[in-house]
Amino acid sequence: MKDRLEAEQAERYQAHLALPKIGATGQRRLLRSRVLMVGIGGLGCPTALYLTASGVGTLGLLDDDIVDRSNLQRQVLYGTADIGKPKVQVARERLAGINPDVDLEPIEERLTPSNAMDLVEGWDLVIDGSDNFATRYVVNDACVLSRIPLISGSIFQFEGQVTVIQPPLSPCYRCLFRLPPREQPACRDAGVLAPLTGIIGSIMAAEAVKLTVAGDTALMGRLLLVDSLESSTRSVRVKSDPTCPLCGKEPSIDRPTAVAVCRSSDA
């Protein structure tokens, strides 16, 4: 990456260059950054859109799913003609037309305890937009063990939440949820307000830009809660758990570990 922005880049990113907390220096940092997006679904689509437009240097697109008709209500990178196609391939094609500055790396795999450390290696930042608790724990473990900042977001019906994880500056996901909550039904079954995915995804993208540019975020040690039905937001302070098996004083987890999650239909 050159020290100076090209003329076309200066024009493209003018609105960022005008911001005192980004400017040319911050934009160059964005253009040198490597960000991995885990899950290119309801949250991953808007997050990837804004990161691509913002000029993240390399964006990894990790998902092993194909486009389903039920995705189209909220997963804004896909259309009817894409049904049955791999999400990472369709997403790459859509995003490539938005910003040629961004290197897009499709990774058509499912993140598991056995491959998580390899998949997060080499990235500056990981964003978790997965749709299940099991994956969230594994992503959390891999990022904490690899000392990579993690932005974690989730949605359910009319509500969403976002936090930034980077122990010891913040608690990890296991500090917040020592025992996995009962698994929620998929969005197609439980329902989700389509624009909520854009709201939470945009917040995740904004935190990613701030972390990349300045290494800071107001959501370190805070959990942002969004209620789209009530049109309200609130944040709560969250503390590290000194007995956490991953990031506590005497950790016992030294590799990404799967958790047993109760299904919502279980007794």
> pLDDT (tens digit, 9 = 90+) per residue, 156-168?
999 999 999 999 9
- Give me 156's structure tokens: 């359910």
pLDDT of residue 23: 96
**Average pLDDT of the segment spanning 61-68:** 98
pLDDT of residue 179: 80
Query: Is 231:199 a contact under the CB 8 Å cutoff?
Result: no
- Tens of pLDDT, residue by residue over 210-246, are 999 998 899 999 999 999 999 999 999 999 999 999 9
Does 253 have pLDDT greater than 70?
Answer: yes
Average pLDDT, the chain: 93
Does 69 have pLDDT greater than 50?
Answer: yes
Cis peptide before 168 (omega within 30 of 0): yes
DSSP percent split of the chain into helix, strand, coil, nearest 5: 35, 20, 45
Which domains can be identified in the chain, with CATH numbers?
12-237 (3.40.50.720)
Query: Is 169:136 a contact under the CB 8 Å cutoff?
Result: no
- Looking at per-residue pLDDT, the higher value among 33 and 183 belongs to 33
Instruction: State whether residue 90 is helix, strand or coil.
Output: helix
Query: Which single residue is written with the structure tokens 């799913």?
Result: 65
Q: Looking at 100-104, 175-179, 219-223, which range is the least confident one?
A: 175-179
pLDDT of residue 261: 60
- Residue 184's pLDDT band, with cuts at 50, 70 and 90, is low
Does 57 have pLDDT greater than 50?
Answer: yes
| pTM confidence score | 0.94
